[in-house]
Structure 1
Amino acid sequence: MYVVIVGAGEVGTAIAESLAETHNVAVIDIDGNRVEALMYDTDILGIEGDGTDLDTLEEADIEDADILIASTDDDETNIVTCSTAMTVTDAFTISRVKSAKFLRTWQQSERAFGIDHMVATNLLAAETIARIVGLPAAQDVEMFVDGLVQMAEFEISESSPVANLTVEEADRYESLTFAAVLREDAVIIPRGETVLEPGDDVIVIGSPDSIHTFAHELEPDTDGTPNILVVGGGDIGYHTARLLQERGLKPRLVEQDHDRARELAEALSGTTVLESDATDREFLEREHIDDVDIVIAALDNDEKNLLVGLLAKRLGAERAVAVVDSGGYVDLFEEVGIDVAVNPREATAEEITRFTREYQAENVAIIESDRAEVLEIEITEESVLVDRPIRESVADLPDGVVIGSIARNGTLVIPRGDTVVERGDHVVVFVEIDSLEEASSKL
């Protein structure tokens, strides 16, 4: 497959690095230094130029492209790029936009702007936050098979009840599979005797009920409706509060600008909007920050989000989730005390990369910046799994593959050694990145 990417910033670079190993990739950017750096690190064709210019697109052989991805930091540039490309190619076009207003327009008209698929960065970040908030202690959450199967990533803390237990001792859930343990740079496929050490990240796959039960065992004091405080009424803060109230939660939202606070109060009937500066310690104390289960810092500045998150935790908030615009700060935020750092650019790159891979899978979750993937595969006659017990068929799969769950006719089937996989089943599997190509061809 030939993929043309316009924009070599954080999003475009992440997509190019992810696709370059298995596809032919060209990257266009007006910044020649970015293009040169990406060509040095990755096996791609680099072109310096304006992606909205037809001559530049033709220099990249756009007429031969299977997919065009417009991923610059400017919404209008991405839209115009796709519209320009459609005049000379039948390539599938994907546009990244920050504002959800363009997404709403696109959704109301088939192939509006000449775009086949649109990803709204701010809405995607809000959806990521809402999934994490809905599951205590989770670092990452994804849904499969129309919500029948869930995948979640948890960090094992020193005080966790399962810390220093073996997987066999910790596994007390009928419909949950321990798919992987991430320990420093290693991906460990767990066995019964594998010990869950403090600092490990564990990937589990199973029914939402079993994963929620496991989450509450990791954090036993999180029962009941969470007390949530959203800081920042921009696009991400607004969509986060909207998604949370749609789930029956009643978040509070802090916005300093008077006019914006008034607008939010009218738009969010299930959210209490407070007009104030969330870095004001006295205000936070008056609002009983020590009773808050989760504070979500969604301001328009990384440093402010770090300050709000750390201040809230110091004053007694249980967990802090912060939006981090710069991908280079994600690890730093989590090292100094933020529980989960959500980078909209990283989430967008993963979503677009995931979409390019859905030609082979029903759904894909990318784990830890492409260390592994969780795939939803519909079983066909060509699969090595079909009509065979799992203990027999897994011998034909590469190392690093774990069958996490099976959905059959809307019902969850617990994978055991003697479980026979049938044609039409939806199987959710964990796959280490080094085994992905071989596993995909056999599944």
Structure 2
Amino acid sequence: MHVIIVGAGEVGQSIAENLQETHDVVVVDRDEEIIEDLTYSMDVLAIRGNGTDISTLREAGLDEADLVIASTDNDESNVVICGAAKTESDAFTIARVRRRTLLETWQGTQGAFGVDFMVCTDLLAAQTIFRISGLPAAQDVNMFAGGLVRMAEFEIGPDSPVADLSIQEADCYDSMTFAAIFREGEMTVASGESVIRSGDRVVVIGSPDSVKGFASDITTPDHSENREIVIIGASEIGFQTAREFEDHGYEPRLIEQDHDRAREVAEALPNTMVMESDATDTDFLVREHVDEADIVIAALDGDEKNLLVSLLAKRLGVDRTIAVIENLQYAELFEQVGVDVAINPREETAEEIIRFTHTAHTEKIAMVEHDRAEVIEIEVGEDSAITGRPIAEAAAEFPDGVVIGAISRRGDLITPRGTTVVEPGDHVVLFVDATVLDQVLEML
């Protein structure tokens, strides 16, 4: 596949890095220094130029492009790039935008602007925050098969009842599969003999009820429900997060220091209590009982600010903190110093876009541990290596690092066992080590 990526920021570079080994990738950016770095650091063709200029797109091979991804930091430029690409090619076009209003305009007239798919960075981040907030101890949550299947990653605490148990001993859930264990930077594909230790991150795949039951079982009862939500910062992500909670029946509280912005979001969010204050004012936080919140979400403009207010919330006694980070390199640091979950909007966007570069049968992907592995949903055809065979037999041909986590068949969830036979048209959700992903996709 010939892929043109316009905009070599974090999103563009993340996509290019993911695709460089299996696709013909061309990256376009205005910054000469970035282009020079990409030339030596990645197996891509890096071109300096303006992606809104049709001559630049031609130089990037527009006439043979299968996919054009517009991921600059300017919404309007991304729309123009897609429109320009459509004038001279049949490439599938993807525009990354930040404004939800632009996404809603496009959704009302799909196919407009020459954009085949539009992804809204801030909305994706808000949706991710909401999903993670619904499960105690969850580090990552994704839905597959139209909501029938849930994947979640949990950190195991020292008092968790599954700590020091083997997978076989801990597996008492009829419709859930243990997929992998991450420990001190190393990944182990789960087997019955694998032992879960305190501090591990465990990836599970199954029905929403089973995954929620597991989440409740590995945490203390007091923290099994997250009802009191405090959002700090009325940035666009903070605003979208509050709206996401409102849409699901919650009444969050939002703290914003700027008077005009606080007034603006208060008028737009009827079920959110908006408080105008400095979120680092400890007396205010105590007076407003922020310490009693189940979750505090730091969505200020600036990684350092979000780290500060997250640690302050922890100091006050808040159980869970979620921080938005712009610099992906900070993610591990944030979690090491006490922030429970760090969300990078650009990583969420890259994940959403990359699925279009996989096989046509790939319905959805979710990156795990910053692309150490992927959970993918595949609609299997008659020629798939796993169709018409018991899973135990078919799985023996897979490379190490693959777990079949769930199967959706005509709207019903099937928990895979060794004797389960996959049928054409089934939607299969698999956990796959990133190092063998391309090999597995070819087999499927």
- TM bin, normalised by shorter chain, reads over 0.9
After superposition, give the CA deviation of every residue in 1:367-414 in whole Å (9 maximum; x if it has no partner).
Answer: 122211111112221122222221222112222111111112211112
2:414 aligned with 1:407, yes or no?
no
2:266 aligned with 1:277, yes or no?
no
Greater CA drift, 68-77 or 123-132: 68-77
Displacement, 1:169?
A: 1.5
Q: Which residue of 2 aligns with 1:61?
A: 61
Displacement, 1:205?
A: 0.2
Q: Is the 8 A contact 2:136 2:215 kept in 1?
A: yes
Alignment of 1:110-259 (within 5 A): 110-220=110-220, 221-259=222-260
Query: Which whole-Å CA distance do the structure 2 matches of 1:440 and 1:82 have between them?
Result: 28
Displacement, 1:174?
A: 0.9
Query: Which whole-Å CA distance do the structure 2 matches of 1:421 and 1:81 have between them?
Result: 42
Query: Which whole-Å CA distance do the structure 1 matches of 2:128 and 2:33 have between them?
Result: 32
Query: Which whole-Å CA distance do the structure 2 matches of 1:207 and 1:299 have between them?
Result: 34
Query: Which whole-Å CA distance do the structure 2 matches of 1:346 and 1:145 have between them?
Result: 22
Superposition TM-score, scaled by structure 2 size: 0.97
Greater CA drift, 51-60 or 203-212: 51-60
Query: Which whole-Å CA distance do the structure 2 matches of 1:378 and 1:236 have between them?
Result: 33
Q: Is the 8 A contact 1:225 1:249 kept in 2?
A: no
Q: Is the 8 A contact 1:35 1:46 kept in 2?
A: yes
Greater CA drift, 150-159 or 209-218: 150-159
Q: Which residue of 2 aligns with 1:394?
A: 395
Q: Which residue of 2 aligns with 1:13?
A: 13
Greater CA drift, 272-281 or 310-319: 272-281
Superposition TM-score, scaled by structure 1 size: 0.97
How many residues were matched structurally?
A: 443
Unaligned runs of 5+ in 1: none
Query: Which whole-Å CA distance do the structure 2 matches of 1:52 and 1:182 have between them?
Result: 43
Query: Which whole-Å CA distance do the structure 2 matches of 1:313 and 1:184 have between them?
Result: 24
Displacement, 1:45?
A: 0.5
Displacement, 1:358?
A: 5.8
Q: Which residue of 1 aligns with 2:436?
A: 435
After superposition, give the CA deviation of every residue in 1:80-104 in whole Å (9 maximum; x if it has no partner).
Answer: 2222222222211111111112111
SS in 1 for 2:346: helix
Displacement, 1:225?
A: 4.7
Which residue identity lines up with residue 345 of structure 2 in the other structure?
P
Which residue identity lines up with residue 379 of structure 1 in the other structure?
V
Q: Which residue of 1 aligns with 2:350?
A: 349
Which residue identity lines up with residue 323 of structure 1 in the other structure?
V
Q: Is the 8 A contact 1:294 1:321 kept in 2?
A: yes
Q: Is the 8 A contact 1:54 1:84 kept in 2?
A: yes
Q: Which residue of 1 aligns with 2:42?
A: 42
Query: Which whole-Å CA distance do the structure 2 matches of 1:395 and 1:223 have between them?
Result: 38
Query: Which whole-Å CA distance do the structure 1 matches of 2:51 and 2:415 have between them?
Result: 49
Q: Is the 8 A contact 1:295 1:309 kept in 2?
A: yes
Q: Specify whether residues 384 and 358 from structure 1 end up closer, same or farther in structure 2 by C-alpha distance, changes over 3 A only.
A: closer
Q: Is the 8 A contact 2:295 2:320 kept in 1?
A: yes
Query: Which whole-Å CA distance do the structure 1 matches of 2:106 and 2:9 have between them?
Result: 24
After superposition, give the CA deviation of every residue in 1:20-66 in whole Å (9 maximum; x if it has no partner).
Answer: 11100000111111111112111111111111112211111111111
Greater CA drift, 356-365 or 406-415: 356-365
Unaligned runs of 5+ in 2: none
Which residue identity lines up with residue 294 of structure 1 in the other structure?
I
Query: Which whole-Å CA distance do the structure 1 matches of 2:8 and 2:428 have between them?
Result: 35
Displacement, 1:327?
A: 1.6
Query: Which whole-Å CA distance do the structure 1 matches of 2:433 and 2:224 have between them?
Result: 34
Alignment of 1:267-346 (within 5 A): 267-346=268-347
Query: Which whole-Å CA distance do the structure 1 matches of 2:57 and 2:226 have between them?
Result: 52
